[in-house]
Structures are given as structure tokens and as C-alpha cells.
Amino acid sequence: MSRFFDFLSTASVVGIWPRYIEPRLVKLTYLQWKLPEHFSHLAGRRFVQLSDLHLNEQTSSSFLDRVVRRTLRQKPDVIFFTGDFICYSSLKQRNRLIAFLKRLQAPYGSYCVLGNHDYESYVSRDSNGLFAQRTQPNPITALVRGVKTLLSPPCKGYHISEEVCAIPPHTELLELLRETPFSLLENTTVTLPIGLNVTGLGEYALGRCRPLTAFSSYQKELPGIVLAHNPDAFPLLLDYPGDWILAGHTHGEQIHLPFCRPLSRKLTRLTNLQYTRGLYQHCSKHLYVNRGLGSPKPFRLFSPPEIAVLEGVYP
């Protein structure tokens, strides 16, 4: 697929930037967690969020090195990864992935959840809202699907079949994660020594997002950060605890059109198109949708790769 994008990009000077330059840029985004007095123990604590690496043969080693250096330079207390380590359920870069993740250590741990590419079969949705098993599309199929998405009305609902719900996590990826600093949180909560709940949810697209289970061990007197790959899970979490929800999945729309947001939002195929990128607030909850680091399609426009840094601030 990358060769197809190479051809389209080099066919015009305009295509060089989104194909060869912007996908290699790594931007830092700084967020402030304005702490109330009873959470002031987190003042000065730093949390780094990474997402959507989609490691493949096109991902350069220099890019991975840059991500590691910039992450560690922030001196994070905790590192989070919000899913999609691999592409289309294919783990062909095992040694490179494990070497990359082993370098991402933090004093109070590194935690992750899985994305829709991280199961034994790749799952995505169509324009009717149906989540189904899919294979890696060829360039023409991907282009046609994108055009159909733009021409179709936005998805107003979703359906996940029993077949999709039965797909297990990628076995080899799970084994790999056990050899790294990252602890996988699948509908569970851990409490860190710094007085913080960290909750990880299963993947929404596979019907595994189960907040009732995930929050069963949540200590309500303490603040919490929640990891959910797909921002469509956000409405499911409004009646549960947690101060910050960190998500990814959308790549920040990947082709972000500031002058025509309805079109670029539709390409994400979310049900909740208001949650495609950046920071949102609902009452006391904050949702941050990370633009991610990579993509199965090596093409970005006005949506460069991102490392998000969340710092507690008091007063």
C-alpha cells in the first residue's frame, strides 16, 4: 500500500509533505491537570501518553529513537500506551517492537490497553456502523472505501456481532508485552503508590469495553486516569469515576481539514464525531484524543504524530 501512496505523492509536489515529511514529525502536546486540594499530592507528576504506533517495515529506526528520546526527556512518572501497537493484526517486526517498548520505562510503571489492530483478527467498521473482521485492504479498495465513507451519512449507531466479540487478543503480542515494562490493563484498575487509580478498558470495537468490571476495584477517594483506545467509549464512562480519559484510534483525523471539519471527521468512522482529536471536557471529566504516532496508511495532513504530556498543577 505504501508504494501506491508513494506514487500519488511524488506525482505532485503538494503530495511530498503529507507523505514524506509530516508523518516523520513528532510534536509534543502539553496538558495541565488543575488539581483540587484533595488531589494536590499529584502536583508536579508527569504522565506521558503514546498511541497508535502501527509498527511496520516502513517505520524507520530513527523515528522510533526520536519518540523514545522525547518521551524520556519529559521525565514521566508513568507512561501510557493507548493501543494499536501493530498493523492489521500482523506482528512482523517483533524484535523492533520489543526493543522500542523496553526503552520506555518510568518510575511508577508503564501501562497499556489494546486497540482494534491488536487482536488475532483486524476489526473495523463499515459506513453502516457494523464492526466486522477485515483483511488489509489493497490501495484501490481503501480509496473506494474512503470515498464511500465521505458520501454516506454519519454512523448513528453500531453493531458488534458475536463472532467479533469472540476474537481473542493477539497471542504473540501478549507474550511480547510480558517481556517489556508495559502492564496490560484489560478491564481492570491498579492503584499506584503515588495515590492514583489507573483503569484500562478492553477494545470497544470488539465488544470488550466493560466498565462495570474495570472499575470494580477503583478506589473512589483517589483520582484516576482511564485508558480507552477508541473515544467512542467515552459516553459509556460518564457514570463511572475517573478524571482523565486518554484515547487514540482516530490519528487526529489523519487528514485533518480545518476548513472542512465535517468531511475529515467522517473519515474516522466514529459514532461520536465530536471526539476525533484533542481535548474535551464533560462536567469534571476530561477526554484527550491523541493523534498517535503511526498509521497503516503513511499519509498525514495537518495531523502530525504526537506525544502527549499531562502534568498535575496545584493550585
DSSP assignment of 223-277 equals -EEEE-SSGGGGGGGTTS--SEEEE-SSGGGSB--TT-HHHHHHTTT-SSGGGSS
| CATH code for the domain in which residue 91 is found | 3.60.21
Tens-place pLDDT, residues 202-230: 999 999 999 999 999 999 999 999 999 99
The confidence score (pLDDT) of residue 143 equals 67
**pLDDT tops 60 at residue 2:** no
In whole angstroms, how far apart are CA 140 and each of 18, 106, 253?
19, 43, 20
5-53 confidence digits (pLDDT tens): 555 555 555 678 898 999 999 999 999 999 999 999 999 999 999 999 9
pLDDT score, position 169: 97
Report the distance separating Cα 166 and Cα 276, nearest Å: 27
Please provide the average confidence, as pLDDT, over all residues in the chain: 92
Which of the two residues, 5 and 257, has the higher pLDDT score?
Answer: 257
Averaged pLDDT for residues 241-259: 95
**Domain total for the chain?**
1
pLDDT tens-place string over residues 76-93: 999 999 999 999 999 999
pLDDT recorded at residue 171: 98
Q: What is the pLDDT of residues 269-314, one digit of tens each?
A: 899 999 999 999 999 999 999 999 999 988 899 999 999 999 999 9
**13 lies in which domain range?**
2-313
pTM across the whole model:
0.94
